[in-house]
Amino acid sequence: MGEFALSTDAWIVSGVALAYLAGCLWVGMRGGSGASDSALGYVAGDRALGPLVMYFIIGATVFSAFSFLATPGLALTSGAAVFYVLGYGLVGFIPFYFLGPRAARLGRSRGYITQAEMVAGECRHAPLAGTMALVSALSFIPYLALQIKGAGLVVNRLTEGQVPEWLGSAVCYVVVLAYVLKSGVLGVGWTNVFQGVLMMALAWAFGLWLPYKLYGGVGPMFEQIAAAKPEVEGGPLFLSAPGAKTWTWFLNSGVISMIGFVCWPHLFMKAFSARDERTLRRTVVFYPTFMVFLVPIFLIGFAGVLFPSQPASPEQILPHMLMSLDLPALVVGLFCAGALAAGMSTGDAIVHASASILVRDGWITALRRPLTSTQERTAVRVLIVVLMLASYALAVLYDGDLVSLLLYAYGPIAQFLPGLLVSLLGRRRDGVALHAALVVGVVVCVSLKMFPESAPWGVHEGLCGLAANVVVLLALSFARGWRPFSASSGSNAPA
């Protein structure tokens, strides 16, 4: 078998991972059987997703390869800085309790099934949808690449390097491609249920077992880290916010993630997929219970702080510890399945949503090129393949850390916030002003990402872009005689 000849343990790990992938494929292929053979069925599940699928499609979509790999790595290197993830995750979804039902009502009454379609429709400015679609793709591709890269990294490390990263990524995402193409959002939803249960169970198992194995328990682990001043820079401060990071980094990361959280198109689109408003509100209320999943993930990272050897990169700390502890290959394989579940449960939702957005918002709404239901579904499927290939190429070529890749993706997406608030809460809307403000915000954000030394006071480029976005929106709205949040009644501004 040449360079792909595997050892006995690697075969067992690979076998467990392949069994998990087969389970995902079976669930995903059967998941779409209840949907109608239409664009609405493929993209929004006929607006019939119930509480169970909604809970997992939101929770499992949020907890990605970033959660299983990058957050333990951040805890390893920066200590309490990792708690910014818990903060934005708990607070970031609260606005959806109020915005989600409003969007759902608009979707049912006016036929919206994407975020940009709603914003452009309410503001009567079709080109805005096209720009939002392009910005979404700009952010979705690196976000999806993160999941693909994470899958390849996990398979590579847990087979002792015998399966190359590119091959591990390719096998996992061929499975994702198959069930997303076949079943659409319902395939994504039911695989997320399967994947969510698996990754939560394995996270708690490893998160509690590793501190016990290495330190005698969670409490003794933190006591030893706090006492190890010569070995851990900062000593006890390592365990207090902002850890080894600065307060600027901690607040920047938390705020931009909080804003971006409610703006992510693939999450916001679930407002148009829910069975009713009660289901949406229940999902928001119960969603924080999914955040408990983060606690054992953090513990895994802290368990590696005093580990005798360290991995080549922080994101590899968990597979590194598992391979160093001489565990049974079956146990290592189960972790491999859990980590793959984390990445795939986000990747499938992202690629499905991004293709749907480009077709619905870019082609149909912005360019005003109507498609039949069959043509729309076919176009979405073609773009799913194109976007998957582009993201796979980026994953193979990208050589940076996963935290930076995710924080970049949040910047452009945060620029959607003014448009969402105006379209859902404003009485009078100026689509031209919103469009110009969005473009300025994205340009500022991307420019500062390319030249980070230009960012004032170290503020995240996404927040700088959002500030420019709001200033331009207010200036143009007042200059054109409109007030974005005017309490007076009146018709929308014309395009």
Tens digits of residue pLDDT in 219-275: 999 988 888 754 455 445 688 878 888 888 888 888 888 888 889 888 888 888 888
Question: What confidence score (pLDDT) does residue 129 get?
Answer: 95
Instruction: Measure the CA dihedral 184/185/186/190, to 10°.
Output: 110
User: ∠ CA(28), CA(34), CA(39), 5° rounding?
Assistant: 90
Question: What confidence score (pLDDT) does residue 135 get?
Answer: 93
Domain boundaries, the chain: 2-411, 426-495
Rounded to an integer, what distance in angstroms lies between the CA atom of residue 437 and that of residue 448? Answer: 17
Query: Which CATH code is given to the segment(s) 2-411?
Result: 1.20.1730.10
Residue 486, pLDDT above cutoff 70:
no
Residue 484, pLDDT above cutoff 70:
no
Question: What confidence score (pLDDT) does residue 212 get?
Answer: 93
Question: What confidence score (pLDDT) does residue 211 get?
Answer: 94
pLDDT in tens, 415-438: 999 999 999 987 778 899 999 999
Helix (H) or strand (E) holding 169: helix 165-215
Question: What confidence score (pLDDT) does residue 288 get?
Answer: 81
Rounded to an integer, what distance in angstroms lies between the CA atom of residue 251 and that of residue 232? Answer: 23
Residue 494, pLDDT above cutoff 50:
no
Cβ density class 15-38: b for 16+ within 10 Å, e for less: ebbeebbebbbebbbbbbeebeee
Question: What confidence score (pLDDT) does residue 186 get?
Answer: 86
pLDDT bucket at 491, cuts 50 / 70 / 90: very low
Bridge-partner residues for 274, per DSSP? 49
Arithmetic mean of pLDDT, 434-448: 94
Angle of helix 83-91 versus helix 294-303 axis, rounded to 10: 170
Residue 401, pLDDT above cutoff 70:
no
For residue 153, what are the contacts with CB-CB under 8 A and spacing of at least 6?
A: 69, 165, 168, 315, 316, 319
| Mean of the per-residue pLDDT values of the chain | 84
Number of C-beta neighbours around residue 324 at 10 A: 12
